[in-house]
Amino acid sequence: MSAQGGVQYSKIAEIKGPLVVVDGVDSAAFDELVEIQTTEGERRLGKVLEVGNGKAIVQVFEGTTGLSVSGTSAKFMGKVMEMPVSEEVLGRVFDGLGRPIDGLPDPIASKFLDINGEPMNPEQREYPRDFIQTGVSVIDGMLTLVRGQKLPIFSGSGMSHNILAAQIARQAAVVGTTDEFAVVFAAIGVQYSEAEYFKRSLEESGALKRSVLFLNLADDPAIERIITPRVALTVAEYLAYDLGMHVLVILTDMTNYAEALREISAAREEVPGRKGYPGYLYTDLSTIYERAGRLHGRKGSVTQMPILTMPSDDITHPIPDLTGYITEGQIVLGRDLFRQGVYPPVNILMSLSRIMKDGIGEGRTRADHQEVSNQNYDAYSRSQEVRALAGIVGKAGLTGVDLKYLEVGDSFEKDFLTQAVDENRTIEETLSLQWKVVSLLPKNELTKVKDKFIDQYYKER
């Protein structure tokens, strides 16, 4: 991303937060790439946020620390920020701006792509259908991830979402095809230890050779966070639509992205919306989440799993709230289960995958999948009610069937939900565990399942 050509301006009007206001600008375009140069010869990249009345507001990716109004110049490059892409990006580790940090040279680019992506023609979109096996029972069995879907994980600070993200990145595969599968992993504003964990986890399992890592650390400038998901998705789109691969994109943590957005908004003195976030937070998030899907006539697909930590575990906070509107469901991690040591601590009653029904069933997973999943939901929901009741009247006041439901609740959490961090379960194993849980109930309680499936899979216990 070096500077060739371009128009140079040396009149800097003011520096405010991450923004530099350049004066006397007569030709600049929105989103244009700008190179900021200091008297010492240091160069930083930025992009134009606003143009008008002879002024241009430039957002500096590496931050404005150490810059002074005098002696700083801005070179307008006449192009938008681009990411060099080729098949060589697989197995590589980049920083938040797409520069290699694994000690290897820059990958040789076969083309340069605008990091803002090209909008998908809605008419060309194909409906997400095929099942992606993550090896995590609760996701495969009850919150199935479908190729081309966007399915976020809502977590709270300190919970095991990063461990779950790394496990999905290692294990995810499209079953029953020989199609190539790749993982693009973007860490946004994470701690160094977390970034190392992701890197080591993918290296040790051998999954790194089919992965691309983008690491924006907590001590990197906050403004870089705006770019990281866009650079990652540009690479994902190239792998999917140019090379025909099925790509799973994991973005963690989108809360840090939204915080960076709020910081820029405050520096621009915009009127704040809910909780100080800009009013266009919804629109901005959609420019990231909507870069998932499948296209008619193209073999590849982009599937997204954004992860966000809900401030104070509040699901009505603007970030999870708006994310839920844009995406097709959510996987919610529960603090109570996490405290009990359950992994993954998925609160199944608050979670859903809106297009699960289209990715499962005969020919994709198994004919009984939807029904046994519904039966598990029903039984676990009832077990929670019975637990609450037992807390009031005591176990002695419960009926025989109620006691069975208590057993089901414990079995669901212990046998089905809980699994090891490195345990990769097939869909058959997952479904047989679901049958094991509901087989604790008498047959007449299985109201969600057809008799032919009960005859085939019910195991008296």
**3, part of any domain:** no
Q: What is the mean pLDDT of residues 172-187?
A: 86
Sorting pLDDT into bands at 50, 70 and 90, what band is 89? Answer: very high
Provide the domain count of the chain: 3
Q: Do residues 93 and 69 share a domain?
A: no
**1, part of any domain:** no
Tens-digit pLDDT profile for residues 216-246 = 999 998 889 999 999 999 999 999 999 999 9
Question: Residue 152 is part of a domain; what is its CATH number?
Answer: 3.40.50.12240
Neighbour-count burial of 447, counting CB atoms closer than 10 A to its CB (0-12 exposed, 13-18 middle, 19+ buried): exposed
Q: What is the mean pLDDT of residues 167-174?
A: 90
Determine the pLDDT at residue 391.
92
Three-state DSSP state, 75: strand
At a CB cut-off of 8 Å and minimum separation 6, what does 217 contact?
Answer: 96, 187, 189, 190, 191, 192, 195
**231, part of any domain:** yes
Q: What is the mean pLDDT of residues 125-150?
A: 94
Q: What is the mean pLDDT of residues 83-93?
A: 95
Q: What is the pTM of this model?
A: 0.92
Tens-digit pLDDT profile for residues 374-398 = 999 999 999 999 999 999 998 888 9
Q: Please name which of 234, 224, 309, 229 lies closest in space to residue 260, comparing C-alpha atoms.
A: 224
User: In this model, does residue 442 exceed pLDDT 60?
Assistant: yes
Q: Do residues 75 and 95 share a domain?
A: no
**52, part of any domain:** yes
Q: Do residues 318 and 397 share a domain?
A: no
Amino acid at 254: M
| Phi, psi for residue 357 in degrees, rounded to 5 | -60, -25
Neighbour-count burial of 67, counting CB atoms closer than 10 A to its CB (0-12 exposed, 13-18 middle, 19+ buried): middle
| C-alpha atoms less than 13 angstroms from C-alpha of 109 in its C-beta half-sphere | 13
Q: Do residues 232 and 275 share a domain?
A: yes
User: E-strand spans in 235-296?
Assistant: 246-252, 293-295
**49, part of any domain:** yes
Q: Do residues 47 and 96 share a domain?
A: no
CB-based contact 406:383 (threshold 8 Å): yes
Determine the pLDDT at residue 460.
77
Q: Do residues 395 and 351 share a domain?
A: no
Which of 312, 328, 358 marks a domain boundary? 358
Q: Do residues 348 and 383 share a domain?
A: no
**In which domain, by residue range, is 192 found?**
83-358
Q: Do residues 334 and 405 share a domain?
A: no
Amino acid at 239: L
**434, part of any domain:** yes
Q: What is the mean pLDDT of residues 21-48?
A: 91
CB-based contact 31:21 (threshold 8 Å): no
CB-based contact 146:355 (threshold 8 Å): yes
Cα 6-11-17 angle, rounded to 5 deg:
95
Which of 53, 80, 107 marks a domain boundary? 80
Q: Do residues 331 and 215 share a domain?
A: yes
Q: What is the mean pLDDT of residues 169-174?
A: 89
Q: Do residues 305 and 237 share a domain?
A: yes
Question: Residue 18 is part of a domain; what is its CATH number?
Answer: 2.40.10.170
**363, part of any domain:** no
Which of 294, 324, 358 marks a domain boundary? 358
Q: Do residues 249 and 139 share a domain?
A: yes
Q: Do residues 341 and 413 share a domain?
A: no
- In the chain the first and final C-alpha atoms are separated, in Å, by 65
At a CB cut-off of 8 Å and minimum separation 6, what does 203 contact?
Answer: none
Residue 386 neighbours by CB distance under 10 Å: 21
Tens-digit pLDDT profile for residues 256-298 = 999 999 999 998 889 999 999 999 999 999 999 999 999 999 9
